[in-house]
């Protein structure tokens, strides 16, 4: 395919032909073109192209994390490759190409099927696992050894080395992956997807001979744009690519260009070209871009480069800004209350235990469990704090005392209830709510606190762009429960967990196939993706997860190409699915076979209008905004432009006086506190009674209202001016409703 | 009544020279006329217990105890009606009630030849007339009634005062028409940990929601509060959520900061003295 690209660049192949070929939906279709007598498979071309673009733009991209050229290679080496890329062809192209080839990751490849010897070779890249950087940058030779081995120094000599003399090539010149994200010490098997095959240090002058002097004209750039855009549907993660485009848009060159570099092969390696490319892509992908949130759109519209390269795009962005309904979700814990699992005499008192001997130890367990939880809360953010070192002994000691099965089940129930209680709420990720917050929360209410928090964050946190694919995590208290379980308290627990593994706790396959059948994937897939992203590295090897992952993969591939062809809501649905799945496959490496493509029917027909889409998109949008804002802060500083928009929160709240508000909040809290310590059935009963009494009250008041209307002789007016009386009636109904709300509040106190 | 930690420390330092006697309590009261007597007595009691824990090992040595006993025997021979044991306790700076126990224990060993049972010992301390030696019985009795920190009489008073305050608390709750379960009800329902009161409908106290109330007829200092937290309050919190503790004789005001725990805000001041200003006298002086 290097040859294809070359041919396109050399105008030996018609661009339209390539584009048509990429657009076509037939499976495994190969493109044959005369000149070098090649046949190329589509799946190979896309990764190659994406890698190529990143390679070419690496010099200009100094902003933000490198976006990975994470594009999968098909598992089976296509025959076309075998015949196509002959040594002379390879030599004929930029030497970087095979190198990038080798860096293509294999999330579709079963681990066993990698043809493995790469790490045994002297020059082979070693697995990057656990090194603090992404597995995505693991260098893997695709497929079977019978085919080309890209790590083979003979076949793919290092850049700049003489391709013929294999003996002289030094393994040390192979490019090793560079760790990019270093601050993720915990989740080794999971990888933050911010690493990339882009290695600036390793980029030799790209003046690879064959294409030198071609001089990239706008025409050629267009080729890339077209290819890029039309293959958009084939990229693994649309947001990742969009992020890449934004990076291009805001790129700056670190070093001064000398003439030599200007002359080199560069599709996108000068800032001008980068921006041109980015703007063209944004124009072309406007439908997608228009669904970004308001702030991102504003930043894009105000971007001086967009304005100067395409005033039309600027206008369209400005218009889209007004239409945009997407909102960036700010992750903020609104619940600062830790509620313990209430003691319920019905299930927890002495009569539920066989003997005092069984009853009393559990009493202690509960206290130790909460003690551990409190200690974790207080200390886990301290540097150097280690769960196992601090709490391991305590937990193991506690669990070892749980001898009888009855005790186990009681403790397990407590553990589970506490887990659900703490983790079901809004996700608490990076923001911890300290005690000051809780004070403020009481004073201002959660909304205002959220705004204050964001303001604080803007003012004190360094601007850090982490990339559009955040790693999966166990946010907030989930971390405590995970670590607790991982403490491997006792042999029994370990054995039990092994036994559990062989059983399917949650039948993901059934859930998934059921949702596909009922055409509700849009509801199921997002949470399933979150669930699967938390699998440890053994999980995907189990049959049930393998099957589920395979199905998701098929879903992903069958949904992908439909992005542009559906009406608005359907489009958003698909975008959501493609995004979450893209994220999943990006951040996790699953050894799932990339099976044959399923028929490209739409699997999601249900219309789903919700903030979910925007929540997801917002994770990316936040990163887009950071990138764009960082650019503005650099370029607009001279003109004194506003860098960040900050809306101050006034201490005085609109409308209700503070005292009143806190009083209301207290009432709500009291009600919650009451129900918290009662069996759930009580709440249901109260709600039922309140509803009944409320509706009867409304009925009753309606009667009174009607009789009042009659007695006041308003009947006449009713005959005359229909509308005004209707309004009166409605007003009375509102009053009645208010009364009913009061009634229900009273009922709660009757209990 | 809330005291700052500094104030508390000053009082504690001053009490170091005092003995647990009626006279000393009078001196303490005159020294701090603005504080209630029960608060002062409670503080003294806490500090005296700490002091005893520190010094008890000095007295609990066989040689030393034998010396005390021999001294008691020889002095009662000379002055059979004098409060020999009480004077001895004051002289060696030991609580009179504890001195009485040591001597009685030694006496019973002589009588029966073996180790006296704890039940017998305790019943004799409670009821000195059971002791056959009348001189010893008198001495033990003098020790018991002249000790305001240790001994069966003090235990009895403390228990009664505790009960009284629980009743007081229940009355106040009923006065306000609050629905609650008391300790006895909870016990019959099989609760594993029982605060004095569980509110069936939680209420807010100064903006903090509370589910339970524990009544402590004592002063809340750092040490006792910490002990209560570990043995009781956290257990209550683990089962019923945030609650309230009443220290009827006041507490160190810095105590009510549980802010560093990062808990439910209503848990932050659960352990304070809530609007109960009745001054309770501990009838020992």
Task: Tell me whether residues A340 and B238 touch, CB distance under 8 A.
Answer: yes
Give the pLDDT band (50/70/90) at residue A466: low
| Residues forming beta bridges with residue B3, ordered by sequence position | B252
Q: For helices A356-379 and A393-401, give the axis angle rounded to 10 degrees.
A: 160
Task: Tell me whether residues B202 and A673 touch, CB distance under 8 A.
Answer: yes
Closest listed residue to residue A55, CA positions, set A85, A97, A92 = A97
The Cα-based distances of A206 to A94, A163, A272 in angstroms read 7, 16, 17
Token pair listed for A434: 């300290």
Task: Tell me whether residues A666 and B207 touch, CB distance under 8 A.
Answer: yes
Per-residue pLDDT, A213 = 35
Please check whether residue B175 lies inside any domain of the structure.
yes
Task: Tell me whether residues B238 and A366 touch, CB distance under 8 A.
Answer: yes
Asked if residue B191 and residue B241 are part of one domain, the reply reads: yes
Asked if residue B124 and residue B80 are part of one domain, the reply reads: yes
Give the pLDDT band (50/70/90) at residue A327: low
> E-assigned strands of A178-235?
none
Task: Tell me whether residues A342 and B239 touch, CB distance under 8 A.
Answer: yes
Is residue B137's pLDDT more than 90?
yes
Domain end call among B101, B132, B150: B150
Contacting residues of B for A674, CB less than 8 Å apart: 201-202
Per-residue pLDDT, A733 = 59
Asked if residue B141 and residue B174 are part of one domain, the reply reads: no
**Class of residue A312 by CB neighbours under 10 A (exposed 0-12, middle 13-18, buried 19+):** exposed
A200-245 pLDDT, tens digit each? 334 333 333 333 333 445 445 555 655 555 455 556 666 777 777 7
Residue A31 backbone dihedrals phi, psi, to 5 degrees: -100, 125
Q: How far is A338 from chain B (nearest CA, A)?
A: 6
Distance between CA atoms of residues A416 and A423, nearest Å: 10
Q: Are B93 and B19 in contact (CB under 8 A)?
A: yes
Cβ neighbours for B88, distance < 8 A, ≥ 6 positions apart: B68, B71, B72, B75, B99
Task: Tell me whether residues A439 and B201 touch, CB distance under 8 A.
Answer: no
Interface predicted TM-score (ipTM) of this complex, two decimals = 0.79
Cβ neighbours for B72, distance < 8 A, ≥ 6 positions apart: B84, B85, B88, B103, B139
Domain end call among B129, B150, B171: B150
Asked if residue B69 and residue B47 are part of one domain, the reply reads: no
Give the pLDDT band (50/70/90) at residue A192: very low
Give the pLDDT band (50/70/90) at residue B122: very high
Q: How far is A539 from chain B (nearest CA, A)?
A: 34
Max avg pLDDT among A379-393, A416-430, B62-76, B105-119: B62-76
Nearest beta carbon to residue B265 from set A351, A442, A749: A442
Give the pLDDT band (50/70/90) at residue A154: very low
Closest listed residue to residue A290, CA positions, set A621, A512, A559, A612 = A621
Is residue B139's pLDDT more than 80?
yes
A249-293 pLDDT, tens digit each? 877 765 444 444 333 334 445 777 778 778 877 887 787 777 777
A33-81 pLDDT, tens digit each? 544 445 556 666 666 766 777 776 666 665 555 555 444 444 333 333 3
Ordered strands of the B180-182 beta sheet: B180-182, B197-205, B208-216, B243-247
Token pair listed for A231: 């293959």
Task: Tell me whether residues A340 and B237 touch, CB distance under 8 A.
Answer: yes
Asked if residue B122 and residue B139 are part of one domain, the reply reads: yes
Task: Tell me whether residues A435 and B189 touch, CB distance under 8 A.
Answer: no
Contacting residues of A for B201, CB less than 8 Å apart: 674, 749, 751
Asked if residue B250 and residue B184 are part of one domain, the reply reads: yes
Task: Tell me whether residues A374 and B263 touch, CB distance under 8 A.
Answer: yes
User: Which of B187, B188, B198, B202 to mutate to probe the A interface, most A CBs <10 Å?
Assistant: B202
| Residues forming beta bridges with residue A73, ordered by sequence position | none
Could you tell me which residue, A380 or A443, shows the higher pLDDT? A380
Q: How far is A422 from chain B (nearest CA, A)?
A: 13
Asked if residue B6 and residue B78 are part of one domain, the reply reads: no
Task: Tell me whether residues B191 and A345 touch, CB distance under 8 A.
Answer: yes
Is residue A348's pLDDT more than 50?
yes
CA gyration radius, chain B: 22
B250-274 pLDDT, tens digit each? 888 777 555 334 333 223 333 333 3
Query: Kind and range of the H or E element at B199?
Result: strand B197-205
Asked if residue B224 and residue B247 are part of one domain, the reply reads: yes
Is residue A358's pLDDT more than 50?
yes
Give the pLDDT band (50/70/90) at residue A667: confident
Please check whether residue B225 lies inside any domain of the structure.
yes
Residue A465 backbone dihedrals phi, psi, to 5 degrees: -95, 120
Is residue A340's pLDDT more than 70?
yes
Task: Tell me whether residues A336 and B192 touch, CB distance under 8 A.
Answer: no
B225-240 pLDDT, tens digit each? 888 888 888 888 888 8
Contacting residues of B for A442, CB less than 8 Å apart: 207, 265
Q: Which residue of A has its CA nearest to B240?
A: A342
Task: Tell me whether residues B207 and A442 touch, CB distance under 8 A.
Answer: yes
Domain end call among B17, B32, B56: B56
Asked if residue B177 and residue B259 are part of one domain, the reply reads: yes
User: Which of A341, A346, A367 to mutate to probe the B interface, most B CBs <10 Å?
Assistant: A367
Q: How far is CA B52 from the centre of its chain?
A: 13
Q: Which residue of A has its CA nearest to B204?
A: A670
Token pair listed for B105: 């224990």
Q: For helices A356-379 and A478-486, give the axis angle rounded to 10 degrees.
A: 120
- Determine the Cα angle at B8 with ends B4 and B11, to 5°: 145
Task: Tell me whether residues B190 and A670 touch, CB distance under 8 A.
Answer: no
Where do we find the tokens 């890329």?
A85
Distance between CA atoms of residues A104 and A236, nearest Å: 12
The Cα-based distances of A513 to A509, A516, A550 in angstroms read 6, 5, 12
Q: How far is A329 from chain B (nearest CA, A)?
A: 25
CA torsion through residues A396, A400, A404, A407, sign: negative
Asked if residue B139 and residue B167 are part of one domain, the reply reads: no
Nearest beta carbon to residue A438 from set B191, B202, B265: B265
Is residue A738's pLDDT more than 90?
no
Per-residue pLDDT, B274 = 36
Cβ neighbours for A246, distance < 8 A, ≥ 6 positions apart: A278, A624, A627, A628
Cβ neighbours for B152, distance < 8 A, ≥ 6 positions apart: B97, B122, B125, B126, B144
Task: Tell me whether residues B202 and A439 touch, CB distance under 8 A.
Answer: no
Token pair listed for A588: 């996790």
Nearest beta carbon to residue A670 from set B202, B263, B265: B202
User: Which of B262, B268, B269 to mutate to probe the A interface, most A CBs <10 Å?
Assistant: B262
Q: Which residue of A has its CA nearest to B238?
A: A340
CB count within 10 Å of CB A586 equals 23
Task: Tell me whether residues B204 and A363 touch, CB distance under 8 A.
Answer: no
Q: How far is A353 from chain B (nearest CA, A)?
A: 11
Nearest beta carbon to residue A674 from set B202, B260, B263: B202
| Chain B interface with A: residues with Cβ < 8 Å | 189-193, 201-204, 207, 209, 211, 234-235, 237-241, 259-266, 268
Give the pLDDT band (50/70/90) at residue A737: low
Give the pLDDT band (50/70/90) at residue A115: very low
Task: Tell me whether residues A336 and B209 touch, CB distance under 8 A.
Answer: no
User: Which of B238, B257, B258 to mutate to probe the A interface, most A CBs <10 Å?
Assistant: B238
Is residue A455's pLDDT more than 70?
no
Asked if residue B176 and residue B142 are part of one domain, the reply reads: no
Q: For helices A2-9 and A218-230, give the axis angle rounded to 10 degrees.
A: 140
Please check whether residue B171 lies inside any domain of the structure.
yes
Q: Which residue of B has its CA nearest to A432?
A: B262
User: Mean pLDDT lowest for which of A117-126, A417-426, B94-103?
Assistant: A117-126
Closest listed residue to residue A523, CA positions, set A601, A597, A603 = A603
Q: How far is B177 from chain A (nearest CA, A)?
A: 12
Could you tell me which residue, A416 or A233, shows the higher pLDDT? A416
Task: Tell me whether residues A435 and B265 touch, CB distance under 8 A.
Answer: yes
The Cα-based distances of B59 to A457, B68, B92 in angstroms read 62, 9, 9
Query: What mean pLDDT value characterizes chain A?
Result: 61
Q: Structurally, how many domains does chain B consist of?
A: 3
Per-residue pLDDT, A240 = 73
Query: What mean pLDDT value characterizes chain B?
Result: 84
Closest listed residue to residue A353, CA positions, set A418, A417, A402, A415 = A402
Per-residue pLDDT, B166 = 93
Please check whether residue B136 lies inside any domain of the structure.
yes
Per-residue pLDDT, B71 = 94
Contacting residues of A for B178, CB less than 8 Å apart: none
CA torsion through residues B157, B161, B163, B164, sign: positive
Per-residue pLDDT, A184 = 39
Average pLDDT over residues A727-731: 56
Contacting residues of A for B239, CB less than 8 Å apart: 340, 342-343, 366
Average pLDDT over residues A510-536: 82
User: Which of A340, A352, A679 to mutate to probe the B interface, most B CBs <10 Å?
Assistant: A340
Nearest beta carbon to residue A434 from set B201, B240, B262: B262
Q: Are A119 and A127 in contact (CB under 8 A)?
A: yes
Q: Give the three-class secondary structure for A388.
A: helix
Q: Give the three-class secondary structure for B216.
A: strand
CB count within 10 Å of CB B23 equals 11
Range of the domain at B38: 2-56
The Cα-based distances of B90 to A624, B140, B147 in angstroms read 81, 14, 11
Q: How far is A343 from chain B (nearest CA, A)?
A: 5
User: Mean pLDDT lowest for which of A309-313, A437-441, A706-710, B29-33?
Assistant: A437-441
Asked if residue B209 and residue B233 are part of one domain, the reply reads: yes
Token pair listed for B25: 């309590």
Q: What region does A519 belong to: left with phi over 0, alpha with psi -120 to 50, or beta?
A: left
CATH of residue B177's domain is 3.40.1350
């Amino acid at each position: 395919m290097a040859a294809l690209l070359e041919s396109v660049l050399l105008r030996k192949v018609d661009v339209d032909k390539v584009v048509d070929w990429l657009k076509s939906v037939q499976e495994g279709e190969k493109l044959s073109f005369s000149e070098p007598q090649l046949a190329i498979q589509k799946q190979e071309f896309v990764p190659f192209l994406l890698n190529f673009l990143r390679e070419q733009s690496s010099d200009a991209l100094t902003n933000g994390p490198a976006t990975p050229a994470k594009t999968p290679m098909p598992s089976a080496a296509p025959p076309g490759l075998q015949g196509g890329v002959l040594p002379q062809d390879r030599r004929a192209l930029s030497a970087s190409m095979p190198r990038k080839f080798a860096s293509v990751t294999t999330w579709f490849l079963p681990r066993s099927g990698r043809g493995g010897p790469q790490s045994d070779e002297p020059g082979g890249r070693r697995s990057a696992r656990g090194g603090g950087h992404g597995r995505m940058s693991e260098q893997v030779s695709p497929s079977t050894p019978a085919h080309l081995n890209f790590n083979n120094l003979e076949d793919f000599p290092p850049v700049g080395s003489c391709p013929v003399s294999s003996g002289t090539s030094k393994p040390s010149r192979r490019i090793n992956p560079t760790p990019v994200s270093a601050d993720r010490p915990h989740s080794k098997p999971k990888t933050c997807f911010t690493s990339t095959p882009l290695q600036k240090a390793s980029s030799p002058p790209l003046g690879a001979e064959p294409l030198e002097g071609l001089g990239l004209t706008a025409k050629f750039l267009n080729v890339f744009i077209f290819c890029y855009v039309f293959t958009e549907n084939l990229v693994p993660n649309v947001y990742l690519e969009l992020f890449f485009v934004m990076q291009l848009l805001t790129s700056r060159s670190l070093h001064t260009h000398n003439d030599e570099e200007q002359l080199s092969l560069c599709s996108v390696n000068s800032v001008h070209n980068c921006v041109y490319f980015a703007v063209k892509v944004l124009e072309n992908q406007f439908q997608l871009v228009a669904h970004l949130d308001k702030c991102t759109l504003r930043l894009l519209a105000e971007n001086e480069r967009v304005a100067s390269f395409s005033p039309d795009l600027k206008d369209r962005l400005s218009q889209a800004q007004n239409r945009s309904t997407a909102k960036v979700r700010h992750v903020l814990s609104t619940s600062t209350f830790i509620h313990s699992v209430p003691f319920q005499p019905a299930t927890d008192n002495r009569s539920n235990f066989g003997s005092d001997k069984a009853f009393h130890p559990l009493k202690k367990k509960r206290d130790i469990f909460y003690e551990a939880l409190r200690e974790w809360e207080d200390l886990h953010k301290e540097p150097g704090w280690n769960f196992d070192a601090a709490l391991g002994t305590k937990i193991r000691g506690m669990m070892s005392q749980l001898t009888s099965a009855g005790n186990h089940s009681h403790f397990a129930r407590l553990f589970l209830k506490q887990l659900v209680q703490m983790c079901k709420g809004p996700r608490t990720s990076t923001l911890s709510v300290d005690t000051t917050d809780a004070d403020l929360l009481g004073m201002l209410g959660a909304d205002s606190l959220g705004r204050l928090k964001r303001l604080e964050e803007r003012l004190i946190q360094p601007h850090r762009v982490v990339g559009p694919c955040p790693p999966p995590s166990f946010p907030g208290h989930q971390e405590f429960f995970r670590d607790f379980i991982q403490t491997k308290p006792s042999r029994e627990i370990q054995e039990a967990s092994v036994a559990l593994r062989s059983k399917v706790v949650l039948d993901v396959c059934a859930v998934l196939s059921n949702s596909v059948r009922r055409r509700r994937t849009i509801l199921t897939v997002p949470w399933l993706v979150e669930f699967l992203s938390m699998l440890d590295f053994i999980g995907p090897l189990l049959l049930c997860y393998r099957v589920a992952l395979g199905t998701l993969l098929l879903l992903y591939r069958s949904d992908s190409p439909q992005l542009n062809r559906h009406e608005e809501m359907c489009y958003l649905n698909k975008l959501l699915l493609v995004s979450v799945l893209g994220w999943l496959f990006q951040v996790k490496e699953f050894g799932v076979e990339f099976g044959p493509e399923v028929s490209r029917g739409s699997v999601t027909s249900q219309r789903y209008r919700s903030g979910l889409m925007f929540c997801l998109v917002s994770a990316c949008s936040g990163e887009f905004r950071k990138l764009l804002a960082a650019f503005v802060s650099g370029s607009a500083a001279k003109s004194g432009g506003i860098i960040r928009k900050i809306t101050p929160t006034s201490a005085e709240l609109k409308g209700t006086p503070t005292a009143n508000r806190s009083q209301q909040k207290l009432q709500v809290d009291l009600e919650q506190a009451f129900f918290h310590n009662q069996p759930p059935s009580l709440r249901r009963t109260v709600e039922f009674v309140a509803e009944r009494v409320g509706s009867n009250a409304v009925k009753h008041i309606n009667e009174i209202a009607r009789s009042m209307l009659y007695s006041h002789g308003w009947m006449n007016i009713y005959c005359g001016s229909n509308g005004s009386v209707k309004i009166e009636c409605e007003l009375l109904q509102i009053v009645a409703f208010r009364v009913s709300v009061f009634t229900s509040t009273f009922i709660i106190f009757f209990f | 009544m809330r005291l700052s930690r500094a104030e508390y420390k000053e009082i504690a330092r001053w009490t170091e020279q005092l003995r647990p006697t009626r006279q000393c309590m009078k001196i303490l009261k005159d020294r701090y006329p603005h504080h209630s007597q029960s608060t002062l007595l409670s503080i003294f009691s806490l500090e005296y217990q700490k002091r005893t824990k520190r010094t008890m090992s000095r007295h609990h040595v066989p040689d030393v105890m034998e010396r005390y006993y021999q001294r008691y025997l020889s002095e009662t021979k000379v002055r059979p009606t004098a409060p020999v044991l009480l004077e001895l306790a004051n002289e060696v700076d030991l609580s009179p009630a504890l001195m009485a126990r040591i001597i009685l224990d030694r006496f019973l060993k002589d009588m029966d030849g073996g180790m006296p049972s704890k039940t017998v010992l305790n019943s004799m301390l409670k009821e000195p007339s059971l002791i056959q030696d009348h001189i010893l019985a008198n001495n033990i009795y003098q020790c018991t009634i002249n000790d305001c920190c240790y001994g069966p009489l003090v235990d009895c008073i403390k228990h009664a005062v505790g009960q009284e305050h629980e009743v007081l608390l229940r009355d106040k709750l009923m006065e306000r028409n609050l629905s609650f379960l008391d300790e006895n009800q909870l016990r019959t329902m099989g609760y594993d940990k029982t605060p004095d009161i569980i509110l069936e409908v939680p209420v807010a106290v100064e903006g903090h929601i509370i589910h339970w109330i524990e009544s402590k007829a004592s002063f809340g200092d750092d040490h006792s509060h910490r002990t209560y937290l570990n043995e009781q309050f956290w257990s209550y919190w683990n089962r019923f959520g945030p609650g309230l503790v009443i220290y009827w004789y006041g507490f160190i005001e810095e105590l009510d900061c549980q802010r560093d725990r990062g808990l439910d805000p209503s848990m932050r001041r659960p352990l304070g003295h809530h609007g109960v200003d009745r001054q309770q006298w501990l009838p020992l002086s």
